[in-house]
Each structure stands twice: as C-alpha cells, then as structure tokens.
C-alpha cells in the first residue's frame, strides 16, 4: 500500500525540481520563486526553502531513482541540484543550500535583498484606470481605491459598471461586519470610484490595468485603442495569466510601457502580483509597477514573458501529475489527504483543481505543453475526460469531487 509520505514525495519532488530549473535559468530570483508559491498558493514555505530543509542530496537521490525508472526528463535532477549536492551544500543542516544558514536560521548572503533594493515610483501615479467589470476587475478596482488611489473603471454598459460598485460595497460591508473596517473608510473608498462606459474616460489616467476576456484578439484590440486614448507616459498593464504580453505590446506605439500585472483571485485578499516584463518593457516601468504593488499592500515578484510565469508553471504540472497518479488506482481523497498532511498545503490537488476549474486547468496545462514541449506536461487523460463531461469543478457542482 502506498503511504502518505510516498504520495507526497511522488508529487512534490518533481515540483521542487522544476523550481530549481527556473532558478538556474535565472528566470526568477530565489526570493521571488519562494514568495510566489507562498503568497500565490498559500503554501507554508517556498520550494527552495523546502529543498534546503529536506536536504538537496535526499531529493536528488530520490529523483535520480525515479528518472532511472521512468526515463522522464522532468524527473532528471536539475544540474544545479546535482552541483550543489556534489559540493556538500545540501541545505539547512550543512549550513548552505539555496540559502545560507547560521544557527539553523537563514542568514544574509550576496543574494539577500537589502532595503536599498526597494523599488521606487519612477512615474507619478495618482489615478488608476481599470478595464473590465468581472470579479477580477472589480477586485482590482477595490485594491487601488482602498490604497488611496482615484480609480476610473470602464465597462460595456451601465449595468456592468453599477455591478462593480455593488461588488465593492458588499465586500466592504463584510469587512465592517467582521470589524476589519468602518463606515468612514467605506465612504472614502466609494468616493474614489468613477465608473464609465466609454474608454475615452481613461484619457488622463497614469496606469491602466485591463482584466477582460482571455482572448488575444480582444486584448490586442483593447491595447491598440488604449494606446490611442491614453496620455503619453501612461503605463498599460494586462492581468493575463496565459497570453503573451509581447503580443499586447506589439500593437501599441509604446511597447516600453506595456507590462503584466497578474493578480490572483480574489484580488482584495490574495497578496501576490506577478510583475511580468517583456524584452521591451522599460526598467522605469517595471520598477514603478513593483513599487505600486507595494503601496497597495501586495507582494510583487518579477519574471519574464513566458507561459505560466512563476506560479502556474510550477503549480499545474504538479496538479497534472496528481491526476496521473490517481489513474494508477489511488483514491482522490487519499491523495488530497496525503498532501495536506505531509506538505501542509491548504488544499489537496483535486480540491484545488475543482476550485480553479478543470477547464481552466486543462487550458493552462496545454499552454505549458506548447511552451516547453515536455512530453511529461501532456494533460492527463482523466483531466481531459472530466472537462469533456462538463465536470468543471465547484462552479458546476461536480468535478473530481461532488459538490451537489
């Protein structure tokens, strides 16, 4: 019988290996990879910290054995994992792994950010524009208004625009009921909101964040229009989680001002924002957006424009592996429980898949397969099957688990 520890090792070690590869490719910093998974997924610790605690040699040896068995390149220990373990930098117990340690605590080293590294606003940001009226857009409007910014938001009709204000009012009322806010704060936040049905209302904003449909043609039409409408120097940001930001930038005359701000849902609650730069994004724009995130109480992590960014590129292969593991005969509940008990994750993989939406999860996994061309990223048969059957998760009442 497969133990809970074996289940966790089977699913989590490849995820840790992916994180090492991301770091060794210099796609994202050590701190940003760990922060992304902590604040984006609610994990108690980031993957590189977990590696240091388990022991790099322990994980390397387990992966090597798995690679010998499966031949899957995703199970081959990352070169940096091999290198550090070979040097004796095996983690916390050795005093050095991905981090340095003194008396069992993480110590300062050459990669530790200093206070001098804190990003500054290189552009004057007073008014924020938001395009969209869905849950994500409404949450983003609330985030900026609560942080003291005047917000102009644009929807396709008066009813949609009114819905954003209603969403925010309900959210603030809940905060008041929990003792987390008060009527004066609510009035101040609502007083910073200006709704509009015409994009021309965005002419004088300092930054626009779009949160419309995940359709490249629709986004490109919007960015071309925003480029025409918005004043010179205004930053154009997209919340896309799966589409190339470069493709949005290329339809504008200001590609240096186009950037990704990938908020996590629900935006008022989730702390993480992935700040995604293209090769043309200006350093001043990047720094301003990261500073803006800090001013709204968010944790910004930096990465480049490729599929999955940090969180989805690490999360969804793990979820896909969980589905494949269930196809070997293990019960879903057993896998969910093992991950929660062994890794202290807030949800098991099938619980999380059902929350995200199995159709969304399948689309992201297919995008990762196209980007990285790793056969191991091929969507699991059962994932495709539940989507084909309309079992999309909590939103349909049935997914991997039944919610009816």
Name the burial class of residue 115, with classes exposed (0-12), middle (13-18) and buried (19+) by CB atoms within 10 angstroms of its CB: exposed
Q: Residue 1 has what pLDDT? A: 58
What pairs with residue 195 in β-bridges? 153
b/e burial code for range 338-358 (CB count within 10 A of at least 16 → b): bbbebbebebbbbbbbbebbb
Q: Residue 115 has what pLDDT? A: 81
Which runs of E-coded beta strand occur in 66-162? 100-102, 105-107, 127-131, 150-154
Q: Residue 242 has what pLDDT? A: 83
Measured CA to CA in angstroms, residue 318 lies from 54, 350, 387 at distances of: 18, 11, 18
3-state secondary structure of 149: coil
Give the whole-angstrom CA distance, residue 27 versus residue 31. 12
312 is catalytic: yes
Q: Residue 114 has what pLDDT? A: 85
pLDDT in tens, the chain (404 residues): 589 999 999 999 999 999 999 999 999 999 999 999 999 999 999 999 999 999 999 999 999 999 999 999 999 999 999 999 999 999 999 999 999 999 999 999 999 988 888 999 999 999 999 999 999 999 999 999 999 999 999 999 999 999 999 999 999 999 999 999 999 999 999 999 999 999 999 999 999 999 999 999 999 999 999 999 999 999 999 999 989 999 999 999 999 999 999 999 999 999 999 999 999 999 999 999 999 999 999 999 999 999 999 999 999 999 999 999 999 999 999 999 999 999 999 999 999 999 999 999 999 999 999 999 999 999 999 999 999 999 999 999 999 999 99
Judge whether 74 and 374 are in contact, CB under 8 Å.
yes
Domains of the chain: 4-111 (1.10.1040.10), 127-304 (3.40.50.720), 311-396 (1.10.1040.10)
262 is catalytic: yes
Judge whether 207 and 234 are in contact, CB under 8 Å.
yes
Among residues 371, 283, 335, 402, the alpha carbon closest in space to that of 4 is found at 335
Among residues 135, 156, 119, the alpha carbon closest in space to that of 285 is found at 119
Count of CB atoms situated within 10 Å of the CB of 150: 16
3-state secondary structure of 335: helix
Active-site hit among 18, 75, 123, 262: 262
Active-site hit among 274, 287, 351, 367: 274
Active-site hit among 312, 320, 358, 361: 312
Backbone angles phi, psi at 90, to 5 degrees: -95, 5
Angle, CA 164 vertex, CA 160 and CA 170 arms, to 5°: 135
Determine the longest span between alpha carbons in the chain, in angstroms: 64
401 is catalytic: no
């Amino acid at each position: 019988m497969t133990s809970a520890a074996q289940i966790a090792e089977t699913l989590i070690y490849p995820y840790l290996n992916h994180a090492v590869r991301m770091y060794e490719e210099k796609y994202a910093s050590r701190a940003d990879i760990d922060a992304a998974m902590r604040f984006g997924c609610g994990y108690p610790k980031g993957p590189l910290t977990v590696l240091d605690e388990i022991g790099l040699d322990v994980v390397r040896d387990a992966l090597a054995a798995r690679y010998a068995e499966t031949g899957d390149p995703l199970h081959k220990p990352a070169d940096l994992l091999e290198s550090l373990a070979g040097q004796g930098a095996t983690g916390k117990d050795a005093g050095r792994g991905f981090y340095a340690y003194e008396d069992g605590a993480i110590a300062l080293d050459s990669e530790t950010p200093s206070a001098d590294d804190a990003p500054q606003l290189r552009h004057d940001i007073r008014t924020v524009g938001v395009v969209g009226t869905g849950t994500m857009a409404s949450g983003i409007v609330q985030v900026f208004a609560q942080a003291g910014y005047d917000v102009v938001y644009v929807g396709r009709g008066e009813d949609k625009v009114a819905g954003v204000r209603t969403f925010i009012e309900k959210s603030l009322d809940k905060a008041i009921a929990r003792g987390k806010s008060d009527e004066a704060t609510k009035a101040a936040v609502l007083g910073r909101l200006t709704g509009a049905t015409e994009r021309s209302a965005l002419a004088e904003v300092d930054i626009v964040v779009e949160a419309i449909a995940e359709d490249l043609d629709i986004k490109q039409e919007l960015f071309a229009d925003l480029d025409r409408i918005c004043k010179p120097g205004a930053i154009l940001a997209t919340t896309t989680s799966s589409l190339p930001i470069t493709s949005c930038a290329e339809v504008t005359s200001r590609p240096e001002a186009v950037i990704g701000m990938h908020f996590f849902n629900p935006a008022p609650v989730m702390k993480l924002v992935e700040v995604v730069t293209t090769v043309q994004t200006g350093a001043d724009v990047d720094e301003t957006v990261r500073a803006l995130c800090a001013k709204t109480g968010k944790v910004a992590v930096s990465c480049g424009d490729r599929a999955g960014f940090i969180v989805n590129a690490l999360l969804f292969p793990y979820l896909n592996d969980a589905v494949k593991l269930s196809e070997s005969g293990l019960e879903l509940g057993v896998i969910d429980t093992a991950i929660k008990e062994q890794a202290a994750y807030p949800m098991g993989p099938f619980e999380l898949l059902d929350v995200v939406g199995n159709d969304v999860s399948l689309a992201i996994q297919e995008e990762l397969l196209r980007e990285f061309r790793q056969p191991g990223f091929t969507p699991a048969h059962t994932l495709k099957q539940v989507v084909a059957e309309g079992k999309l998760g909590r939103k349909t009442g049935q997914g991997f688990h039944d919610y009816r």
